[in-house]
Structure 1
Amino acid sequence: MKRIINRFKRIDTKLLKSNIKEISQLTGKSQISVFMDMLQCYKKYGAGYSEYFEYEFYLLNEQERSTYMTSVQANEIVQRYNQKEYRHLFYDKADFNKTFADYVGRDWLNIQTASKDDIDKFLENRDTMMIKETQNLMGHGVEKITISDIENVDEFVQKCLENKQYLWEEFFTQHTEMARLYPGSVNTLRVITFFDGDEVAILEKVLKIGNGGHLDNFAAGGMYTILSEEGKVLYPAFDAKANAFSIHPSSQVEIIGFEVPHYDKVVELVKNVGRQVPQIPYVGWDIAIGQEGPILIEGNYNSGVFQMKPSITKEKVGVKPHYKKYIDF
């Protein structure tokens, strides 16, 4: 009940009305009819209005809808399997970097515990860096900093402390192929895994691509698509406004057919890190691809799901059947 109340408090009424109006125009159904169907889908499947729109529930029958994972169902997995006392190792980005130090592949500094000498050494001989809030989601509190623009280091440190941007990281240079896709952001993978105590199963393989900003997050204007078992893009990417792209609108690079470099190493990486904290078996790993191979950006103990639109794939099956091969929920 608490979760339901909190969810209703977070409703973006402007977006809700916009979604209802657009679906009504697409389907020819009245806006009241669309809204009532949304309510029914929330009651039966836990699908919020954004998921109803994103996964195109208005195109699906009852059986087809039942194959799509919703955030409510993903949260059931989190609550059942991911132990609360270990979640901070993923939620806190500084704790994550410390826990997975062998895999993050970049220099970093927690300014809460760093000395002035540590800070000076970190800034030395660098042109740029990323600063991050240690406990935030969807790219909030993440900034790219040009170090030469810092006029007073002490004042800058104090500002970061006030903004809770405690984590400073070396700016990561992505693989030339990933940069060719869209150079404005680091384009990452979200690979969702589940560790059953013996094997690490890969549940989803997602390519996230920036579009117009310096982040590839869906909520920040980015787009995503699903990868094949070999790390190849089979379908157009789409954004939060349901725009689908076979060719990137900025770089003009073909998205369909794009092959993620070092994908075999990505699989090896997640198979290794998926075992590191067995108390958190369900994780969505954010991975960047460097020239020499993949590195970990972060791990999400409460990862949502990523599913293609049925209008894009021409298939009306979500990821739930695949999840159920490995997870009891």
Structure 2
Amino acid sequence: MPQQGLGIAPRLRYLVGRARRIDVGSVLERAKEASAQHKKWTPAVVVDMLWQAGFRNVGFQDYIDYDFAILTAAERATYMTHPVSNQLSQKFDHPDFRYIFQDKVEFDRVFSEHLHREWMVVEEGNAAEVFAFAQRHGTIVTKEPVGQAGTGVHRYHAAEITDAEEFHRGLLARGELLIEEVIVQHAALAAVCPGTVNTTRITAFFDGERTHILAMAQKFGRGAVSDQMTFGGFYTMLDDNGRAVGPGYDSHGHVHARHPDSGFLIGDFQLPMMDEVRSFIDRVARVVPQVQYVGWDVVVTPDGPVLVEGNWGAGVYENKPSATGIRTGHKARYREAIGF
């Protein structure tokens, strides 16, 4: 497809904003972390981090997560980074349609046929309906309409609800307005972590005719309601066939060759039903074609993939060289599909 440059104006706006928000203490802490891990001189790492941020569109956390301290310039250039991803989101996700992805209730309404689970909204006067929903499913998940990184997600067991009216009042007071049936995941996912519904993040771009899968990451939880890192979760990258490329890792310096709880060897993981997953992503990407660049969170169930949410600010999941031995990223795939 034709080249679609990101433009100098967004780049300059980003740099100005970044300069205003820079946290010197945080940069130093990250530099010390990289210095200790890779045996590099801390002042040199600081300078390199600032140069990469200012002139190479590399976030400070990107620098740490993707081991830039040990990569050559050519290897670094292959990595997708959060600043570049943010610019793509701003360019290809139409502002008039982003609200669908920001509000979880609206998202469930628009994508209802792709959720494959029951859901409802907590409102004044529907305590009996909420209680009946919980009783019907045994365990439920509640969500605050606006949240990210797993914040605002809670899990309740019907057996623990002794007063339907009080439970309902609490949900309203805390803003937990969306209730969903718990997803039953495929045995291949439950074998790694049965206590958490483990989602697959699939970053994709819809060019108006074709859906391009740019990167796939498998997230694993630690038994909590969410598999996000704020709940102790981690991820591993998957290849085009859904096979893990190596151990799991997070943004806190933890590398997991095996799942800490189940002992499952992460490098042996294979996402099932990959043909169905590809077709599913193509279908959901066409629902709101004005939002072209999305990070889709899906779960493979015994009956096929189901949709959890879509993120118009897709974020970035990439290879970690010190964990996987892979010293290249996915930027070439993004460029081929999007043309920037």
Give the TM-score band, short-chain normalised.
Answer: over 0.9
State the Cα distance separating 1:7 from its structure 2 match.
5.5
State the Cα distance separating 1:122 from its structure 2 match.
1.6
Other structure's SS at 1:32 match = helix
Select which of 299, 320, 325 maps to 2:310.
299
State the Cα distance separating 1:216 from its structure 2 match.
1.2
- Between the two proteins, the alignment pairs up a number of residues equal to 329
Q: Does the 8 Å CA contact 2:15/2:54 hold for their aligned counterparts?
A: no
State the Cα distance separating 1:220 from its structure 2 match.
2.8
1:66 pairs with 2:77: yes
1:178 pairs with 2:189: yes
Change (3 A) 1:125 1:27: closer
1:286 pairs with 2:287: no
Change (3 A) 1:106 1:185: same
State the Cα distance separating 1:53 from its structure 2 match.
0.4
2:44 corresponds to which residue?
Answer: 33
Cα distance in 1 between the residues matched to 2:21 and 2:160: 37
Aligned amino acid, residue 174 of structure 1? Q
Q: Does the 8 Å CA contact 2:200/2:297 hold for their aligned counterparts?
A: yes
When structure 1 is superposed on structure 2, of 71-80 and 26-35 the one drifting more is 26-35
**Aligned-pair RMSD on alpha carbons?**
2.2
Aligned amino acid, residue 72 of structure 1? P
Cα distance in 1 between the residues matched to 2:60 and 2:122: 40
1:271 corresponds to which residue?
Answer: 282
Other structure's SS at 2:113 match = coil
Aligned amino acid, residue 282 of structure 1? Y
Change (3 A) 1:250 1:117: closer
2:7 corresponds to which residue?
Answer: none
1:78 pairs with 2:96: no
Cα distance in 2 between the residues matched to 1:306 and 1:219: 16
Change (3 A) 1:67 1:249: same
Q: 1:109-120 alignment to 2 at 5 Å?
A: 109-112=120-123, 115-120=126-131
Using the aligned pairs only, state the percent identity: 33
State the Cα distance separating 1:97 from its structure 2 match.
0.8
Cα distance in 2 between the residues matched to 1:148 and 1:66: 53
2:118 corresponds to which residue?
Answer: 107
Cα distance in 1 between the residues matched to 2:118 and 2:125: 13
Q: Does the 8 Å CA contact 1:45/1:70 hold for their aligned counterparts?
A: no
Displaced runs of 4+ in structure 1, greater than 4 A? 1-17
Other structure's SS at 1:234 match = coil
1:235 pairs with 2:242: no
Aligned amino acid, residue 273 of structure 1? V
1:77-104 Cα shifts (integer Å, max 9, x gaps): 1111110111111111111111111110
Aligned amino acid, residue 110 of structure 1? V
Cα distance in 2 between the residues matched to 1:256 and 1:4: 38
Cα distance in 1 between the residues matched to 2:56 and 2:169: 46
1:21 pairs with 2:32: yes
Cα distance in 2 between the residues matched to 1:7 and 1:144: 37
Aligned amino acid, residue 306 of structure 2? I
1:24-78 Cα shifts (integer Å, max 9, x gaps): 2234333222111111111012222211100111112222222211111101111
1:317 pairs with 2:332: no
Select which of 64, 67, 73 maps to 1:53.
64
Other structure's SS at 1:248 match = coil
State the Cα distance separating 1:133 from its structure 2 match.
0.9
1:154 pairs with 2:193: no
1:199 corresponds to which residue?
Answer: 210
When structure 1 is superposed on structure 2, of 104-113 and 20-29 the one drifting more is 20-29
State the Cα distance separating 1:265 from its structure 2 match.
1.2
State the Cα distance separating 1:9 from its structure 2 match.
7.7
Normalised by the length of structure 2, the TM-score is 0.89
Q: Does the 8 Å CA contact 1:206/1:226 hold for their aligned counterparts?
A: yes
State the Cα distance separating 1:315 from its structure 2 match.
3.2
1:145 corresponds to which residue?
Answer: 156
Cα distance in 1 between the residues matched to 2:219 and 2:171: 28
Change (3 A) 1:160 1:5: farther
Q: Does the 8 Å CA contact 1:219/1:240 hold for their aligned counterparts?
A: no
Aligned amino acid, residue 47 of structure 1? V
State the Cα distance separating 1:328 from its structure 2 match.
2.7
When structure 1 is superposed on structure 2, of 237-246 and 97-106 the one drifting more is 237-246
State the Cα distance separating 1:206 from its structure 2 match.
1.1
1:210 corresponds to which residue?
Answer: 221
Other structure's SS at 1:241 match = coil
Normalised by the length of structure 1, the TM-score is 0.92
Change (3 A) 1:65 1:100: same
Aligned amino acid, residue 83 of structure 1? H
State the Cα distance separating 1:201 from its structure 2 match.
0.7
Tell me, which stretches of 5 or more residues in structure 1 are unaligned? none
Q: Does the 8 Å CA contact 2:105/2:121 hold for their aligned counterparts?
A: yes
State the Cα distance separating 1:21 from its structure 2 match.
1.9
State the Cα distance separating 1:116 from its structure 2 match.
4.2
Tell me, which stretches of 5 or more residues in structure 2 are unaligned? 1-11
